Chain A
Protein backbone atom coordinates (compact mmCIF):
# COMPACT_ATOMS: atom_id res chain seq x y z
CA UNK A 1 0.00 0.00 0.00
CA UNK A 2 0.97 3.62 -0.39
CA UNK A 3 0.49 6.21 2.36
CA UNK A 4 0.56 9.93 1.64
CA UNK A 5 1.06 12.29 4.56
CA UNK A 6 0.02 15.91 4.17
CA UNK A 7 2.39 18.24 5.97
CA UNK A 8 2.51 21.99 6.44
CA UNK A 9 5.12 24.56 7.23
CA UNK A 10 4.01 26.81 10.08
CA UNK A 11 5.58 29.66 12.01
CA UNK A 12 7.70 28.32 14.83
CA UNK A 13 5.59 28.20 17.99
CA UNK A 14 8.02 30.52 19.72
CA UNK A 15 7.49 33.27 17.13
CA UNK A 16 4.61 35.69 17.47
CA UNK A 17 2.14 35.38 14.61
CA UNK A 18 0.75 38.43 12.89
CA UNK A 19 -1.24 39.55 9.87
CA UNK A 20 0.57 41.73 7.36
CA UNK A 21 -1.66 44.85 7.32
CA UNK A 22 -0.65 45.61 3.73
CA UNK A 23 -1.85 42.32 2.25
CA UNK A 24 -4.31 41.03 4.86
CA UNK A 25 -2.48 37.72 4.75
CA UNK A 26 -0.56 35.86 7.42
CA UNK A 27 2.96 37.25 7.72
CA UNK A 28 4.91 34.12 6.86
CA UNK A 29 8.37 35.52 7.36
CA UNK A 30 10.44 34.45 10.34
CA UNK A 31 11.34 31.04 11.74
CA UNK A 32 9.52 28.11 10.22
CA UNK A 33 8.83 24.60 11.46
CA UNK A 34 6.95 21.43 10.55
CA UNK A 35 3.44 21.65 12.00
CA UNK A 36 3.70 19.60 15.23
CA UNK A 37 0.43 17.71 14.57
CA UNK A 38 1.83 16.49 11.25
CA UNK A 39 4.71 14.72 13.02
CA UNK A 40 2.05 12.50 14.65
CA UNK A 41 0.64 11.70 11.20
CA UNK A 42 4.08 10.64 9.95
CA UNK A 43 4.59 8.54 13.06
CA UNK A 44 1.19 6.88 12.50
CA UNK A 45 2.31 5.96 8.97
CA UNK A 46 5.55 4.52 10.33
CA UNK A 47 3.68 2.44 12.88
CA UNK A 48 1.44 0.97 10.17
CA UNK A 49 4.56 0.05 8.19
CA UNK A 50 6.20 -1.51 11.23
CA UNK A 51 3.05 -3.40 12.28
CA UNK A 52 3.54 -5.74 9.33
CA UNK A 53 -0.25 -5.97 8.83
CA UNK A 54 0.06 -4.20 5.50
CA UNK A 55 2.97 -4.04 3.11
CA UNK A 56 3.68 -0.31 3.02
CA UNK A 57 5.69 0.21 -0.14
CA UNK A 58 5.94 3.95 0.16
CA UNK A 59 5.29 6.84 2.53
CA UNK A 60 5.13 10.10 0.60
CA UNK A 61 5.12 13.53 2.26
CA UNK A 62 3.12 16.15 0.34
CA UNK A 63 3.03 19.86 1.01
CA UNK A 64 1.80 23.07 -0.54
CA UNK A 65 3.73 26.15 0.40
CA UNK A 66 6.47 28.62 -0.46
CA UNK A 67 10.02 27.63 -1.42
CA UNK A 68 11.10 27.57 2.21
CA UNK A 69 8.74 24.60 2.79
CA UNK A 70 11.49 22.37 1.35
CA UNK A 71 12.97 22.29 4.84
CA UNK A 72 9.65 21.02 6.20
CA UNK A 73 9.74 18.21 3.64
CA UNK A 74 13.32 17.36 4.66
CA UNK A 75 12.09 17.15 8.22
CA UNK A 76 9.19 14.90 7.20
CA UNK A 77 11.60 12.61 5.32
CA UNK A 78 13.96 12.48 8.31
CA UNK A 79 10.99 11.30 10.39
CA UNK A 80 10.25 8.42 8.02
CA UNK A 81 8.82 9.49 4.65
CA UNK A 82 10.54 7.88 1.65
CA UNK A 83 10.15 10.82 -0.70
CA UNK A 84 8.27 14.07 -0.96
CA UNK A 85 6.22 16.26 -3.28
CA UNK A 86 6.29 20.05 -3.08
CA UNK A 87 3.47 22.02 -4.70
CA UNK A 88 4.71 25.57 -4.92
CA UNK A 89 3.68 28.49 -7.10
CA UNK A 90 3.19 32.20 -6.42
CA UNK A 91 -0.28 31.77 -7.96
CA UNK A 92 -1.29 29.63 -4.97
CA UNK A 93 -0.78 32.44 -2.44
CA UNK A 94 -3.99 33.54 -0.75
CA UNK A 95 -5.77 30.21 -1.30
CA UNK A 96 -8.55 29.62 1.24
CA UNK A 97 -9.39 26.23 2.80
CA UNK A 98 -11.49 25.12 -0.15
CA UNK A 99 -8.88 26.12 -2.75
CA UNK A 100 -6.02 24.58 -0.74
CA UNK A 101 -7.96 21.34 -0.34
CA UNK A 102 -8.66 21.22 -4.07
CA UNK A 103 -4.98 21.79 -4.90
CA UNK A 104 -3.73 19.15 -2.46
CA UNK A 105 -6.35 16.65 -3.61
CA UNK A 106 -5.27 17.13 -7.22
CA UNK A 107 -1.66 16.34 -6.30
CA UNK A 108 -2.82 13.32 -4.28
CA UNK A 109 -4.80 12.01 -7.25
CA UNK A 110 -1.50 11.63 -9.17
CA UNK A 111 -0.21 9.45 -6.34
CA UNK A 112 -3.37 7.33 -5.87
CA UNK A 113 -2.69 6.60 -2.21
CA UNK A 114 -4.46 3.88 -0.21
CA UNK A 115 -4.38 6.08 2.85
CA UNK A 116 -3.97 9.83 3.37
CA UNK A 117 -2.91 10.97 6.84
CA UNK A 118 -2.59 14.49 8.20
CA UNK A 119 -2.47 16.37 11.51
CA UNK A 120 -5.92 17.40 12.74
CA UNK A 121 -5.03 21.07 12.96
CA UNK A 122 -2.23 23.44 12.11
CA UNK A 123 -0.57 25.85 14.48
CA UNK A 124 -1.64 28.69 12.22
CA UNK A 125 -4.68 29.41 10.09
CA UNK A 126 -7.47 26.93 9.43
CA UNK A 127 -8.45 24.24 11.86
CA UNK A 128 -9.74 20.69 11.57
CA UNK A 129 -11.14 21.14 8.08
CA UNK A 130 -8.59 20.41 5.36
CA UNK A 131 -8.94 16.61 5.65
CA UNK A 132 -12.67 16.72 4.95
CA UNK A 133 -12.16 18.97 1.91
CA UNK A 134 -9.44 16.71 0.46
CA UNK A 135 -11.56 13.59 1.07
CA UNK A 136 -14.54 15.11 -0.71
CA UNK A 137 -12.45 15.81 -3.84
CA UNK A 138 -10.91 12.33 -3.72
CA UNK A 139 -14.35 10.82 -3.03
CA UNK A 140 -12.90 8.92 -0.09
CA UNK A 141 -14.35 8.36 3.38
CA UNK A 142 -12.90 10.66 6.00
CA UNK A 143 -12.58 10.93 9.76
CA UNK A 144 -10.91 13.75 11.65
CA UNK A 145 -9.41 14.13 15.14
CA UNK A 146 -8.56 10.41 15.43
CA UNK A 147 -6.60 9.45 18.56
CA UNK A 148 -6.42 5.67 18.19
CA UNK A 149 -6.04 3.78 14.93
CA UNK A 150 -5.66 0.06 14.26
CA UNK A 151 -5.23 -1.55 10.88
CA UNK A 152 -6.37 -5.08 10.09
CA UNK A 153 -6.92 -7.29 7.07
CA UNK A 154 -10.68 -7.62 6.49
CA UNK A 155 -12.53 -9.87 4.05
CA UNK A 156 -12.53 -7.13 1.39
CA UNK A 157 -9.21 -5.48 2.04
CA UNK A 158 -7.63 -3.37 4.75
CA UNK A 159 -9.85 -1.94 7.47
CA UNK A 160 -9.01 0.85 9.91
CA UNK A 161 -10.63 0.97 13.32
CA UNK A 162 -10.50 4.57 14.53
CA UNK A 163 -11.41 6.18 17.83
CA UNK A 164 -12.05 9.81 18.44
CA UNK A 165 -13.79 12.08 20.86
CA UNK A 166 -16.99 13.56 19.46
CA UNK A 167 -19.87 15.55 20.95
CA UNK A 168 -21.25 12.77 23.14
CA UNK A 169 -18.13 10.85 24.17
CA UNK A 170 -15.76 8.50 22.36
CA UNK A 171 -16.84 7.09 19.00
CA UNK A 172 -15.33 3.99 17.44
CA UNK A 173 -15.65 3.90 13.66
CA UNK A 174 -14.52 1.26 11.17
CA UNK A 175 -13.59 2.31 7.67
CA UNK A 176 -12.37 0.40 4.62
CA UNK A 177 -9.41 1.85 2.76
CA UNK A 178 -8.84 4.07 0.88
CA UNK A 179 -9.56 6.84 3.38
CA UNK A 180 -8.42 10.25 4.59
CA UNK A 181 -7.70 10.39 8.33
CA UNK A 182 -6.61 13.37 10.40
CA UNK A 183 -4.97 12.57 13.72
CA UNK A 184 -4.69 14.24 17.11
CA UNK A 185 -1.54 14.42 19.18
CA UNK A 186 -2.71 11.75 21.64
CA UNK A 187 -2.40 9.09 18.91
CA UNK A 188 1.31 8.44 19.43
CA UNK A 189 4.63 9.79 20.60
CA UNK A 190 6.65 10.75 17.50
CA UNK A 191 10.19 9.41 17.47
CA UNK A 192 13.21 11.65 17.16
CA UNK A 193 15.01 11.33 13.84
CA UNK A 194 18.49 9.85 13.94
CA UNK A 195 21.42 12.00 12.89
CA UNK A 196 21.83 9.70 9.90
CA UNK A 197 18.18 10.26 8.90
CA UNK A 198 18.60 14.02 9.20
CA UNK A 199 21.75 13.98 7.08
CA UNK A 200 20.20 11.65 4.50
CA UNK A 201 16.92 13.56 4.13
CA UNK A 202 18.23 15.93 1.46
CA UNK A 203 19.23 12.99 -0.74
CA UNK A 204 15.74 11.47 -0.88
CA UNK A 205 13.68 12.20 -4.02
CA UNK A 206 11.81 15.51 -3.92
CA UNK A 207 9.46 16.43 -6.73
CA UNK A 208 8.57 20.09 -7.22
CA UNK A 209 5.34 20.97 -9.01
CA UNK A 210 3.87 24.28 -10.03
CA UNK A 211 0.21 24.92 -10.86
CA UNK A 212 0.59 23.81 -14.48
CA UNK A 213 2.68 20.72 -13.74
CA UNK A 214 0.23 19.60 -11.08
CA UNK A 215 -2.63 19.94 -13.56
CA UNK A 216 -4.49 22.49 -11.46
CA UNK A 217 -7.15 24.77 -12.85
CA UNK A 218 -5.63 28.23 -12.22
CA UNK A 219 -9.12 29.69 -11.78
CA UNK A 220 -9.70 27.52 -8.72
CA UNK A 221 -6.64 28.46 -6.67
CA UNK A 222 -5.06 31.55 -5.12
CA UNK A 223 -7.00 34.60 -4.14
CA UNK A 224 -9.08 34.62 -7.31
CA UNK A 225 -10.02 30.97 -6.88
CA UNK A 226 -11.04 31.36 -3.25
CA UNK A 227 -14.68 31.71 -2.28
CA UNK A 228 -14.08 33.70 0.90
CA UNK A 229 -12.61 37.17 1.20
CA UNK A 230 -11.13 37.82 4.64
CA UNK A 231 -10.20 41.21 5.94
CA UNK A 232 -11.44 44.21 7.90
CA UNK A 233 -9.32 43.13 10.86
CA UNK A 234 -10.29 44.59 14.20
CA UNK A 235 -9.26 44.17 17.80
CA UNK A 236 -11.44 41.95 20.00
CA UNK A 237 -13.24 43.46 22.99
CA UNK A 238 -10.33 44.11 25.31
CA UNK A 239 -10.08 42.32 28.61
CA UNK A 240 -8.26 43.92 31.51
CA UNK A 241 -4.88 42.23 31.77
CA UNK A 242 -4.61 40.02 34.83
CA UNK A 243 -2.15 40.24 37.67
CA UNK A 244 1.00 38.15 37.13
CA UNK A 245 3.17 36.68 39.87
CA UNK A 246 6.59 35.29 39.01
CA UNK A 247 7.15 32.57 41.58
CA UNK A 248 10.53 33.19 43.18
CA UNK A 249 9.69 32.55 46.82
CA UNK A 250 6.89 29.99 46.92
CA UNK A 251 5.76 30.81 50.48
CA UNK A 252 5.33 34.46 49.52
CA UNK A 253 3.58 33.47 46.27
CA UNK A 254 1.13 31.25 48.13
CA UNK A 255 0.43 34.04 50.61
CA UNK A 256 -0.44 36.38 47.75
CA UNK A 257 -2.73 33.79 46.15
CA UNK A 258 -4.55 33.19 49.44
CA UNK A 259 -4.98 36.96 49.96
CA UNK A 260 -6.34 37.26 46.40
CA UNK A 261 -8.81 34.43 47.10
CA UNK A 262 -9.93 36.05 50.36
CA UNK A 263 -10.51 39.43 48.74
CA UNK A 264 -12.92 37.68 46.39
CA UNK A 265 -14.44 35.49 49.13
CA UNK A 266 -13.40 32.30 47.37
CA UNK A 267 -12.42 30.45 50.53
CA UNK A 268 -15.61 29.16 52.12
Chain B
Protein backbone atom coordinates (compact mmCIF):
# COMPACT_ATOMS: atom_id res chain seq x y z
CA UNK B 1 0.00 0.00 0.00
CA UNK B 2 1.69 3.24 -1.18
CA UNK B 3 1.59 6.46 0.83
CA UNK B 4 1.39 9.90 -0.79
CA UNK B 5 3.25 12.81 0.80
CA UNK B 6 3.20 16.50 -0.03
CA UNK B 7 6.56 18.28 -0.40
CA UNK B 8 6.50 22.06 -0.06
CA UNK B 9 9.39 23.90 -1.71
CA UNK B 10 10.71 27.36 -2.42
CA UNK B 11 13.69 28.60 -4.40
CA UNK B 12 14.78 25.10 -5.27
CA UNK B 13 14.83 23.77 -1.71
CA UNK B 14 12.38 21.40 -0.04
CA UNK B 15 10.86 22.51 3.28
CA UNK B 16 12.41 20.80 6.31
CA UNK B 17 9.04 19.70 7.72
CA UNK B 18 8.14 18.21 4.34
CA UNK B 19 11.40 16.21 4.34
CA UNK B 20 10.42 14.89 7.76
CA UNK B 21 7.02 13.93 6.40
CA UNK B 22 8.68 12.10 3.48
CA UNK B 23 10.87 10.09 5.89
CA UNK B 24 7.90 9.21 8.12
CA UNK B 25 5.75 8.28 5.14
CA UNK B 26 8.55 6.02 3.87
CA UNK B 27 8.82 4.31 7.25
CA UNK B 28 5.11 3.50 7.52
CA UNK B 29 4.80 2.68 3.81
CA UNK B 30 7.47 0.00 4.23
CA UNK B 31 5.45 -1.50 7.08
CA UNK B 32 2.35 -1.40 4.89
CA UNK B 33 4.28 -3.22 2.17
CA UNK B 34 4.43 -0.20 -0.14
CA UNK B 35 6.37 2.91 -1.06
CA UNK B 36 6.27 6.63 -0.24
CA UNK B 37 5.58 8.85 -3.24
CA UNK B 38 6.03 12.61 -3.01
CA UNK B 39 4.06 15.24 -4.91
CA UNK B 40 5.36 18.70 -5.79
CA UNK B 41 3.40 21.48 -7.44
CA UNK B 42 5.22 24.43 -8.98
CA UNK B 43 6.96 25.99 -11.95
CA UNK B 44 10.32 25.68 -13.67
CA UNK B 45 12.27 25.25 -10.47
CA UNK B 46 10.89 21.72 -10.19
CA UNK B 47 13.92 20.15 -11.85
CA UNK B 48 14.46 16.42 -12.25
CA UNK B 49 17.37 16.78 -9.85
CA UNK B 50 15.28 18.40 -7.11
CA UNK B 51 12.58 15.73 -7.33
CA UNK B 52 15.08 12.87 -7.53
CA UNK B 53 16.82 14.18 -4.38
CA UNK B 54 13.80 13.06 -2.33
CA UNK B 55 15.04 9.51 -2.81
CA UNK B 56 17.63 10.14 -0.10
CA UNK B 57 14.78 10.82 2.34
CA UNK B 58 12.89 7.67 1.42
CA UNK B 59 10.64 8.57 -1.52
CA UNK B 60 10.60 5.97 -4.30
CA UNK B 61 8.77 8.27 -6.69
CA UNK B 62 8.16 12.01 -7.02
CA UNK B 63 5.20 13.37 -8.96
CA UNK B 64 5.73 16.71 -10.70
CA UNK B 65 2.67 18.88 -11.31
CA UNK B 66 3.02 22.21 -13.10
CA UNK B 67 0.90 24.78 -11.30
CA UNK B 68 0.83 27.83 -9.02
CA UNK B 69 3.05 27.77 -5.93
CA UNK B 70 2.23 28.58 -2.34
CA UNK B 71 -1.55 28.11 -2.62
CA UNK B 72 -3.44 25.14 -1.26
CA UNK B 73 -6.31 24.43 -3.61
CA UNK B 74 -4.30 23.62 -6.77
CA UNK B 75 -2.47 21.01 -4.65
CA UNK B 76 -5.84 19.62 -3.51
CA UNK B 77 -6.73 19.18 -7.19
CA UNK B 78 -3.47 17.33 -7.87
CA UNK B 79 -3.56 15.12 -4.78
CA UNK B 80 -7.28 14.46 -5.27
CA UNK B 81 -6.52 12.96 -8.68
CA UNK B 82 -3.63 10.91 -7.31
CA UNK B 83 -5.58 9.61 -4.29
CA UNK B 84 -8.61 8.68 -6.39
CA UNK B 85 -6.95 7.29 -9.51
CA UNK B 86 -3.57 5.96 -8.40
CA UNK B 87 -4.54 3.78 -5.47
CA UNK B 88 -3.18 5.71 -2.49
CA UNK B 89 -4.89 5.03 0.83
CA UNK B 90 -3.06 7.63 2.95
CA UNK B 91 -1.59 11.10 2.55
CA UNK B 92 0.91 12.73 4.93
CA UNK B 93 1.78 16.42 5.46
CA UNK B 94 4.52 18.01 7.55
CA UNK B 95 3.84 20.87 9.98
CA UNK B 96 3.21 24.40 8.73
CA UNK B 97 0.32 26.35 7.24
CA UNK B 98 -0.30 24.80 3.82
CA UNK B 99 -0.52 21.27 5.21
CA UNK B 100 -3.61 22.26 7.21
CA UNK B 101 -5.28 23.83 4.18
CA UNK B 102 -4.41 21.13 1.67
CA UNK B 103 -5.03 18.22 4.03
CA UNK B 104 -8.44 19.50 5.12
CA UNK B 105 -9.50 20.36 1.56
CA UNK B 106 -8.32 16.98 0.33
CA UNK B 107 -10.28 15.16 3.06
CA UNK B 108 -13.45 16.92 1.89
CA UNK B 109 -12.65 16.26 -1.78
CA UNK B 110 -12.23 12.49 -1.49
CA UNK B 111 -14.32 11.79 1.64
CA UNK B 112 -11.32 10.79 3.74
CA UNK B 113 -10.72 11.13 7.47
CA UNK B 114 -8.24 13.76 8.65
CA UNK B 115 -6.20 14.18 11.84
CA UNK B 116 -4.30 17.37 12.67
CA UNK B 117 -1.30 18.12 14.91
CA UNK B 118 -0.12 14.51 14.64
CA UNK B 119 3.05 13.70 16.56
CA UNK B 120 3.40 10.02 15.70
CA UNK B 121 2.16 7.62 13.02
CA UNK B 122 2.36 3.86 13.11
CA UNK B 123 0.86 0.76 11.55
CA UNK B 124 -1.51 -1.42 13.51
CA UNK B 125 -3.14 -4.49 12.02
CA UNK B 126 -2.28 -3.40 8.50
CA UNK B 127 -3.84 0.05 8.94
CA UNK B 128 -2.27 3.41 9.63
CA UNK B 129 -2.94 5.02 13.01
CA UNK B 130 -2.12 8.58 14.08
CA UNK B 131 -1.47 9.98 17.55
CA UNK B 132 -2.43 13.51 18.39
CA UNK B 133 -1.93 15.43 21.66
CA UNK B 134 -5.17 17.11 22.75
CA UNK B 135 -6.44 19.44 25.47
CA UNK B 136 -3.28 21.49 25.76
CA UNK B 137 -1.08 18.40 25.42
CA UNK B 138 -2.50 16.89 28.62
CA UNK B 139 -3.66 13.75 26.81
CA UNK B 140 -2.85 11.86 23.60
CA UNK B 141 -5.59 10.42 21.44
CA UNK B 142 -5.26 7.81 18.70
CA UNK B 143 -7.05 8.23 15.38
CA UNK B 144 -8.11 5.24 13.33
CA UNK B 145 -9.43 5.76 9.83
CA UNK B 146 -12.55 4.02 8.53
CA UNK B 147 -11.37 4.44 4.95
CA UNK B 148 -8.78 6.69 3.38
CA UNK B 149 -6.78 8.72 5.87
CA UNK B 150 -4.96 12.04 5.93
CA UNK B 151 -2.28 12.94 8.47
CA UNK B 152 -1.29 16.56 9.12
CA UNK B 153 1.84 16.58 11.26
CA UNK B 154 2.70 18.93 14.05
CA UNK B 155 5.63 21.25 13.40
CA UNK B 156 8.95 19.40 13.91
CA UNK B 157 7.19 16.17 14.90
CA UNK B 158 8.65 14.18 12.00
CA UNK B 159 12.43 13.95 11.68
CA UNK B 160 14.02 14.04 8.24
CA UNK B 161 16.34 11.05 7.82
CA UNK B 162 18.77 11.26 4.93
CA UNK B 163 20.55 8.33 3.35
CA UNK B 164 22.76 9.72 0.55
CA UNK B 165 23.36 6.23 -0.79
CA UNK B 166 19.64 5.60 -1.40
CA UNK B 167 18.37 5.39 -4.98
CA UNK B 168 17.09 8.68 -6.45
CA UNK B 169 13.31 9.04 -6.61
CA UNK B 170 11.78 8.23 -10.00
CA UNK B 171 10.36 11.42 -11.50
CA UNK B 172 6.94 11.28 -13.13
CA UNK B 173 4.92 14.15 -14.60
CA UNK B 174 1.20 14.47 -13.98
CA UNK B 175 -1.03 16.84 -15.89
CA UNK B 176 -3.85 18.21 -13.75
CA UNK B 177 -6.97 20.07 -14.79
CA UNK B 178 -7.34 22.63 -12.00
CA UNK B 179 -10.82 23.49 -10.66
CA UNK B 180 -12.14 26.96 -11.52
CA UNK B 181 -12.23 27.98 -7.84
CA UNK B 182 -8.71 26.65 -7.15
CA UNK B 183 -7.07 29.14 -9.45
CA UNK B 184 -9.08 32.21 -8.36
CA UNK B 185 -6.65 33.19 -5.56
CA UNK B 186 -3.64 35.02 -7.03
CA UNK B 187 -0.32 35.24 -5.21
CA UNK B 188 0.67 38.89 -5.27
CA UNK B 189 3.75 38.61 -3.07
CA UNK B 190 5.18 35.51 -1.39
CA UNK B 191 7.47 35.19 1.61
CA UNK B 192 7.83 38.87 2.44
CA UNK B 193 10.28 39.40 5.32
CA UNK B 194 8.97 42.11 7.60
CA UNK B 195 11.46 44.02 9.71
CA UNK B 196 15.20 43.62 9.94
CA UNK B 197 17.07 40.34 9.79
CA UNK B 198 17.91 39.02 13.27
CA UNK B 199 19.88 35.85 13.89
CA UNK B 200 18.23 34.00 16.75
CA UNK B 201 19.11 30.47 15.70
CA UNK B 202 22.75 30.64 16.81
CA UNK B 203 22.13 32.32 20.19
CA UNK B 204 22.81 30.37 23.41
CA UNK B 205 20.37 32.58 25.28
CA UNK B 206 17.03 33.85 23.98
CA UNK B 207 14.80 36.34 25.77
CA UNK B 208 11.40 36.11 24.10
CA UNK B 209 8.49 38.50 24.36
CA UNK B 210 4.75 38.03 23.85
CA UNK B 211 1.56 39.98 24.08
CA UNK B 212 1.98 40.31 27.84
CA UNK B 213 4.57 43.02 27.16
CA UNK B 214 1.64 45.34 26.58
CA UNK B 215 3.13 47.20 23.65
CA UNK B 216 6.03 47.48 21.24
CA UNK B 217 8.13 49.47 23.72
CA UNK B 218 8.16 46.52 26.10
CA UNK B 219 10.88 44.95 23.93
CA UNK B 220 13.39 47.59 25.10
CA UNK B 221 13.71 45.96 28.52
CA UNK B 222 14.05 42.52 26.93
CA UNK B 223 16.86 43.75 24.69
CA UNK B 224 18.73 44.99 27.74
CA UNK B 225 18.28 41.68 29.55
CA UNK B 226 19.37 39.75 26.45
CA UNK B 227 22.39 42.07 26.25
CA UNK B 228 23.68 41.24 29.74
CA UNK B 229 23.02 37.53 29.18
CA UNK B 230 24.92 37.64 25.86
CA UNK B 231 21.85 36.52 23.95
CA UNK B 232 19.27 37.70 21.45
CA UNK B 233 15.59 38.67 21.57
CA UNK B 234 12.84 36.53 20.05
CA UNK B 235 9.08 37.02 19.72
CA UNK B 236 5.74 35.24 19.41
CA UNK B 237 3.63 35.27 16.28
CA UNK B 238 0.98 37.45 17.94
CA UNK B 239 3.40 40.34 18.48
CA UNK B 240 5.06 39.90 15.08
CA UNK B 241 1.65 39.98 13.37
CA UNK B 242 0.91 43.10 15.41
CA UNK B 243 4.09 44.70 14.05
CA UNK B 244 5.90 44.95 17.41
CA UNK B 245 8.96 42.95 16.38
CA UNK B 246 10.60 41.63 13.16
CA UNK B 247 9.37 38.40 11.59
CA UNK B 248 12.94 37.02 11.50
CA UNK B 249 12.83 36.78 15.33
CA UNK B 250 9.61 34.78 15.47
CA UNK B 251 9.43 31.39 17.17
CA UNK B 252 6.93 28.64 16.38
CA UNK B 253 4.42 27.41 13.80
CA UNK B 254 5.36 29.62 10.83
CA UNK B 255 8.59 30.96 12.34
CA UNK B 256 11.86 29.57 13.62
CA UNK B 257 12.58 26.52 15.71
CA UNK B 258 15.22 27.03 18.39
CA UNK B 259 16.86 25.08 21.21
CA UNK B 260 19.13 27.46 23.16
CA UNK B 261 20.71 26.79 26.57
CA UNK B 262 18.32 29.30 28.12
CA UNK B 263 14.92 30.38 26.84
CA UNK B 264 13.37 33.11 28.94
CA UNK B 265 9.75 33.76 27.98
CA UNK B 266 8.33 37.08 29.13
CA UNK B 267 4.59 37.68 28.81
CA UNK B 268 4.11 34.56 26.70
CA UNK B 269 1.13 32.32 27.46
CA UNK B 270 2.73 29.27 25.84
CA UNK B 271 0.22 28.27 23.15
CA UNK B 272 1.01 25.01 21.34
CA UNK B 273 1.96 26.95 18.19
CA UNK B 274 4.72 28.65 20.18
CA UNK B 275 5.73 25.64 22.24
CA UNK B 276 6.52 23.52 19.18
CA UNK B 277 9.23 26.01 18.20
CA UNK B 278 11.11 26.15 21.52
CA UNK B 279 10.33 23.08 23.63
CA UNK B 280 13.77 21.61 22.87
CA UNK B 281 15.45 24.41 24.86
CA UNK B 282 17.69 23.18 27.71
CA UNK B 283 16.34 25.55 30.36
CA UNK B 284 12.96 27.24 30.03
CA UNK B 285 12.14 30.16 32.31
CA UNK B 286 8.77 31.90 32.17
CA UNK B 287 7.59 35.19 33.63
CA UNK B 288 3.85 35.72 33.40
CA UNK B 289 1.27 37.39 35.59
CA UNK B 290 -1.36 34.73 34.84
CA UNK B 291 -0.66 31.70 37.03
CA UNK B 292 -2.91 29.61 34.72
CA UNK B 293 -0.78 30.28 31.63
CA UNK B 294 0.04 26.98 29.88
CA UNK B 295 3.72 27.91 29.75
CA UNK B 296 4.04 27.12 33.47
CA UNK B 297 3.26 23.51 32.62
CA UNK B 298 6.51 23.11 30.68
CA UNK B 299 8.75 25.80 32.18
CA UNK B 300 11.65 24.61 34.38
CA UNK B 301 11.37 27.82 36.37
CA UNK B 302 8.17 29.82 36.43
CA UNK B 303 7.75 33.25 37.96
CA UNK B 304 4.21 34.45 38.54
CA UNK B 305 4.48 38.22 38.57
CA UNK B 306 4.70 41.51 36.71
CA UNK B 307 7.44 41.38 34.11
CA UNK B 308 7.72 45.17 34.10
CA UNK B 309 8.93 44.99 37.70
CA UNK B 310 11.00 41.83 37.42
CA UNK B 311 12.86 42.19 34.11
CA UNK B 312 14.66 45.52 34.83
CA UNK B 313 15.74 44.33 38.27
CA UNK B 314 16.90 41.02 36.88
CA UNK B 315 18.99 42.87 34.27
CA UNK B 316 20.58 44.98 37.01
CA UNK B 317 21.28 41.97 39.22
CA UNK B 318 22.97 40.04 36.42
CA UNK B 319 25.00 43.08 35.41
CA UNK B 320 26.16 43.47 39.03
CA UNK B 321 27.00 39.76 39.28
CA UNK B 322 29.11 39.91 36.15
CA UNK B 323 30.95 43.01 37.38
CA UNK B 324 31.84 41.41 40.72
Contacts and interface: CB of A to CB of B under 8 A. Distances in A.
Interface of A: 14, 17-19, 96-98, 101-102, 126-133, 135-137, 139-145, 147, 161, 164-176, 179, 184-186, 226-236, 239, 241-247, 250-251, 253-255, 257-258, 260-262, 264, 266-268
B101 A132 contact: yes
A226 B109 CA distance: 14
Given A173-B188, A245-B302, A127 B105 contact: no
A170 B15 CA distance: 16
Nearest to A27: B135
Given A169-B191, A175-B185, A136 B241 contact: no
B134 A247 contact: no
B64 interface: no
Contacts of B139: 19, 233-236
A267 B135 CA distance: 36
B241 A184 contact: yes
A227 B302 contact: no
Nearest to A185: B238
Interface stretch (B29-37, B69-77, B84-92, B216-224): B69-77
A267 B97 contact: no
B194 A236 contact: no
B192 A132 contact: no
A121 to B, nearest CB: 9
B108 A102 contact: yes
A166 to B, nearest CB: 5
Given A234-B140, A253-B303, A18 B317 contact: no
A244 B323 CA distance: 28
Contacts of A126: 116
A98 B114 contact: yes
B143 A173 contact: no
Contacts of A228: 113-115, 143-146, 149
B29 to A, nearest CB: 20
Nearest to A136: B108
Contacts of A127: 100, 116-117
Contacts of A260: 285, 301
